[in-house]
């Protein structure tokens, strides 16, 4: 009871903070030519040497070559750091920072999914904020403006190109550390669907469910506003219609573009409202088993919606109407239940399992402890969860 009271106080504070967040949105180029347009805009800033932050998968996929060629065409010199790994650690940030600063880079371009974008954000911040990188952890700890920062997302999932957040793990414990600051929002981004056509189906599925989770948790958050709801609405509608197509037919450019926009809008929404228990669970599963972020969210989404139903049926019913799941004559409660079933069907249709193979019964108390601790003072969720609720929910995810 006392904990719930503290939680409610934190939610009140969160609401006040949301009101005063700067409403900056990155300058965004969208569509087939977006990579070239972003490179032209970077050239116009007078950048002397651009540090590209990416991973080996994107080098192998030929995506980084295409970006380099676009930069060559507009006369911007570049250096590449490709040492980012999924769920990046502080060690990778330190390596990237040392490498790119030694080359004299004066601006940073992230090319990749959430892992390279988050790494790039922290590198750009650490470059202008001397001292241990750990000092940037937390809320509003980035004192000086970062190096100019740009993003080219190649997954449609995290929306990190639109968020004030970066997530990096402690290399020893693998616990996620959060950096939340408007200064790490990229100033320009390009949503180029041609960079996403080679994204393998299983990554398309998991990252797309991450975007859906951002939109849904943002709508359920008690900090939601008319604007965040409008962004989430666009994202939810687009994901229900486009994710199965992007999964089944990777080169469907219309579906890829729609997913890129959905992920961006969901990012704009959740960075102003917050996420909730689905993310807290995905973060812990990532720390315990290395479960990819999107997959952890995708598996936890339906159980958390079921848990939250009694406190959030009207909002879930609204999402059922937005996504075309609600049918005439359904009561509000039926619409809400249909929404949860619809999320489960979407997930199943793109190969997401409903249980996690690596989950161990013995780990449940420790995972639940992390989940409730992460959510407790941070997430303005509609229904508060205690340790026992969380363990019970996690039991349902056992293989
Ligand atoms: N900052 C935020 O607001 C925010 C929000 C949600 C998640 N995250 C973080 O983002 C990270 C996850 O990012 P992600 O889900 O985008 O995955 P990711 O960046 O880890 O990439 C996953 C894999 O996909 C490959 N890949 C990416 N794009 C490709 C393409 N177009 N073609 C072929 N292969 C491609 C990569 O090489 C990599 O192996 C996690 O660390 C998570 O905590 C951050
Ligand atoms: Fe996420």
Segment 117-147, tens digit of pLDDT = 999 999 999 999 999 999 999 999 999 999 9
In a shared domain, residues 164 and 206: no
Ligand 1 centre and the CA of 160: distance in Å?
9
Instruction: Report yes or no on 184 lying in a domain.
Output: yes
Among 175, 195, 215, the domain-final residue is 195
In a shared domain, residues 151 and 257: no
Q: Which of 64, 80, 110, 112 to mutate to test the pocket of ligand 1 (most atoms within 8 A of CB)?
A: 112
pLDDT score at 24: 87
The torsion of the CA quartet 155, 161, 164, 169, rounded to 10 degrees, works out to: 40
In a shared domain, residues 177 and 281: no
pLDDT score at 20: 55
Q: How far apart are CA 116 and CA 111, in angstroms?
A: 6
In a shared domain, residues 77 and 219: no
pLDDT score at 23: 76
Q: Which helix (H) or strand (E) holds 63?
A: helix 63-73
Instruction: Report yes or no on 355 lying in a domain.
Output: yes
Q: 103, exposed or middle or buried, with CB in 10 Å at 0-12, 13-18, 19+?
A: middle
State which ligand 1 atom lies nearest to the alpha carbon of 198.
32
The whole-number mean pLDDT for each consecutive block of 10 residues of the chain, a chain of 399 residues, reads 54 53 87 98 98 98 98 98 95 97 98 98 98 95 98 98 95 87 98 98 98 98 96 98 98 98 98 97 94 97 98 98 97 98 98 97 97 91 96 98
In a shared domain, residues 241 and 189: no
| Cα four-point dihedral sign 219, 256, 28, 185 | positive
Q: The tokens 């293989």 sit on which residue?
A: 399
Instruction: Report yes or no on 191 lying in a domain.
Output: yes
Ligand 2 centre and the CA of 69: distance in Å?
31
Query: What's the CATH code of the domain at 239?
Result: 1.20.1090.10
Instruction: Report yes or no on 23 lying in a domain.
Output: no
* Domain span holding position 329: 2-17+199-395
Instruction: Report yes or no on 263 lying in a domain.
Output: yes
In a shared domain, residues 214 and 69: no
Query: What's the CATH code of the domain at 184?
Result: 3.40.50.1970
Instruction: Report yes or no on 383 lying in a domain.
Output: yes
In a shared domain, residues 130 and 256: no
In a shared domain, residues 207 and 95: no
How many structural domains compose the chain?
A: 2
Protein residue whose Cα sits closest to atom 43 of ligand 1 = 167
In a shared domain, residues 184 and 245: no
Structure tokens at 195: 């960079």
In a shared domain, residues 224 and 328: yes
Among 195, 225, 255, the domain-final residue is 195
Among 169, 195, 221, the domain-final residue is 195
Q: How far apart are CA 237 and CA 301, in angstroms?
A: 17
Ligand 1 centre and the CA of 305: distance in Å?
24
In a shared domain, residues 368 and 255: yes
Q: Is the CB of 219 under 6 A from ligand 1?
A: no
In a shared domain, residues 176 and 299: no
Q: Is the CB of 57 under 6 A from ligand 1?
A: yes
Instruction: Report yes or no on 24 lying in a domain.
Output: no
Residue 47: left if φ>0, alpha if ψ -120 to 50, beta else—which one?
A: beta
Ligand 1 centre and the CA of 158: distance in Å?
7
Instruction: Report yes or no on 22 lying in a domain.
Output: no
Q: Could you please report the per-residue DSSP string of 162-215?
A: G-SEEEEE-TTT--EEEEE-GGGS-SEEEE-GGGSTTS-HHHHHHHHHHHHHHH
Q: Is the CB of 297 under 6 A from ligand 1?
A: no
pLDDT score at 5: 52
Ligand 1 centre and the CA of 53: distance in Å?
13
pTM of the predicted structure, to 2 decimals? 0.95
């Amino acid at each position: 009871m006392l904990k719930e009271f503290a939680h409610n106080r934190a939610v009140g504070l969160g609401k006040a903070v949301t009101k005063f967040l700067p409403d900056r949105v990155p300058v965004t180029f969208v569509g087939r030519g977006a990579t070239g347009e972003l490179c032209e805009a970077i050239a116009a800033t007078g950048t002397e040497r651009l540090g590209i932050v990416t991973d080996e998968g994107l080098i192998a996929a030929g995506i980084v070559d295409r970006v380099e060629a676009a930069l060559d065409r507009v006369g911007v010199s570049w250096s590449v750091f490709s040492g980012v790994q999924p769920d990046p650690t502080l060690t990778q940030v330190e390596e990237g920072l040392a490498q790119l600063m030694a080359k004299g880079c004066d601006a940073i371009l992230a090319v990749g999914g959430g892992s390279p974008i988050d790494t790039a954000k922290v590198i750009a911040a650490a470059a202008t904020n001397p001292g241990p990188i750990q000092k940037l952890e937390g809320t509003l700890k980035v004192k000086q403006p970062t190096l100019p920062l740009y993003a080219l997302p190649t997954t449609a999932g995290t929306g990190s190109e639109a968020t004030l957040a970066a997530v990096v793990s402690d290399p020893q414990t693998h616990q996620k550390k959060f950096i939340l600051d408007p200064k790490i929002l990229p100033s320009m981004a390009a949503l180029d669907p041609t960079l996403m056509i080679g994204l393998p189906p299983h990554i398309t599925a998991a990252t797309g469910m991450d975007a859906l989770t951002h939109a849904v948790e943002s709508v359920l958050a008690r900090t939601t506003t008319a604007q965040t709801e409008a962004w989430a609405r666009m994202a939810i509608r687009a994901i229900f219609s486009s994710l199965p197509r992007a999964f089944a037919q990777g080169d469907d450019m219309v579906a890829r573009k729609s997913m890129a926009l959905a992920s961006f809008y969901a990012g704009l929404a959740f960075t102003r409202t917050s996420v909730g228990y689905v993310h807290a669970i995905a973060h812990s599963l990532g720390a315990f088993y290395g479960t990819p972020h999107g997959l952890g969210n995708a598996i936890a989404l339906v159980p958390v919606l079921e848990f939250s139903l009694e406190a959030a049926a009207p909002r879930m019913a609204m999402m059922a109407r937005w996504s075309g799941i609600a049918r005439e004559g359904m009561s509000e409660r039926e619409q809400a239940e249909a929404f949860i079933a619809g999320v489960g069907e979407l997930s199943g249709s793109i190969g997401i399992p409903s249980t996690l193979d690596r989950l161990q019964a013995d780990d449940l108390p420790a995972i639940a402890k992390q989940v409730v601790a992460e959510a407790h003072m941070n997430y303005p969720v509609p229904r508060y969860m205690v340790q026992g609720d969380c363990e019970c929910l996690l039991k349902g995810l056992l293989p």
